[in-house]
Amino acid sequence: MDGVRGSSLEPVVSVVETRAFGTIASIGFGTLSATVWQRDRRLEQDQRATYDQGEWAMFTGVDCKGDDMDASRWAEVDAYISDVLIPADPVLDGALEASRDAGLPAINVAPNQGKLLHLLARIQGATSILEVGTLGGYSTIWLARALPPTGRLISLELDARHAEVARTNLERAGLTGVTSVLVGPAIGSLESLAKDEAGPFDLVFIDADKPNNPEYFAWAVKLARPGSIIIVDNVIRNGAVADSDSEDLGILATRRLNEAMAADPRVSVTEVQTVGSKGYDGFALALVVGS
């Protein structure tokens, strides 16, 4: 939260979660809230060291190894969230089935993540959306359903076969009137959109090949306006983003992206770690604040 960094007197609301004491919501002033969190975290670590794993689980109600949760538990919770909060949808289920039948990789967003994209688009009041990375059109459907009848969504996809599956799924969803899928390298498509003055877009969702994310983000800002939001998926990479010695091209590109976003005065950005059926990853959320 910017208030914590900017001034020790700026009021902030923080939620401090400790496995020993549950969740504490506190209203404090900047660094005071951080101090409370650090104190409780140290207290938890000291107490955990006193017990073996079984005793700690009995004391806290949390059965874990260190700070790691079992991936099957993440998937179980995702399934619970989807069952309770996201009603069954034949169109979305059919899009996933068609993608599987076509042999597309199962790298689509999870249902609760798709719902988050939909809600963000609605909160934004988006009438124009740009998506970089279509795959089978699952996230495209979630986003396009947030548009008004006069809205538009342009999705960019490298693979012509993926694009064809997506177009079929969008047709079944009744969304061909507000969506279009452009095939080809995304950077070239982004250049063409800028040349044709296709922007500004109210929301941009980037979920494509990771090595090109810095370039995709730069074009997204150019095609946005003050007040637009830009979402970049898969920026945590199982925690590997913190590894400064990594030679993985995706990690290197993500770190370059973070550095570029931090240095760009036109955007205000944060990143959130996530766990779920898709594993341990996260997303960046940027608000365009200048042109």
Residues 230 and 103 in one domain: yes
Packing angle, helices 249-263 and 213-222, rounded to 10:
30
Residues 51 and 163 in one domain: no
Q: Does residue 199 form part of some domain?
A: yes
Residues 164 and 203 in one domain: yes
- Pick from 216, 194, 197, 204: nearest CA to 288: 204
Separation between Cα atoms, residue 207 and residue 32, nearest integer Å: 37
- 66-70, 248-252, 254-258: least confidently modelled range: 66-70
Q: Does residue 80 form part of some domain?
A: no
Mean pLDDT of 47-51: 44
Residues 131 and 246 in one domain: yes
Structural domain boundaries, residue 284: 90-288
For 122-158, write each residue's pLDDT tens digit: 999 999 999 999 999 999 999 999 999 999 999 999 9
Separation between Cα atoms, residue 246 and residue 170, nearest integer Å: 39
Task: Using the predicted structure, report yes or no on whether residue 62 has a pLDDT greater than 50.
Answer: no
pLDDT score, position 15: 43
Residues 98 and 49 in one domain: no
- Pick from 84, 141, 74, 71: nearest CA to 109: 141
* Domain tally, the chain: 2
Residues 169 and 241 in one domain: yes
Mean pLDDT of 83-107: 97
pTM of the model: 0.78
Task: Using the predicted structure, report yes or no on whether residue 166 has a pLDDT greater than 50.
Answer: yes
Separation between Cα atoms, residue 202 and residue 191, nearest integer Å: 18
Question: How confident is residue 14, by pLDDT bands cut at 50, 70 and 90?
Answer: very low
Q: Which CATH number characterizes residue 96's domain?
A: 3.40.50.150
> Which of 39, 60, 81 marks a domain boundary?
60
For 176-187, write each residue's pLDDT tens digit: 999 999 999 999
138, 114 Cβ separation under 8 angstroms: yes
Separation between Cα atoms, residue 24 and residue 177, nearest integer Å: 48
Residues 130 and 263 in one domain: yes
Task: Using the predicted structure, report yes or no on whether residue 13 has a pLDDT greater than 90.
Answer: no
Task: Using the predicted structure, report yes or no on whether residue 99 has a pLDDT greater than 50.
Answer: yes
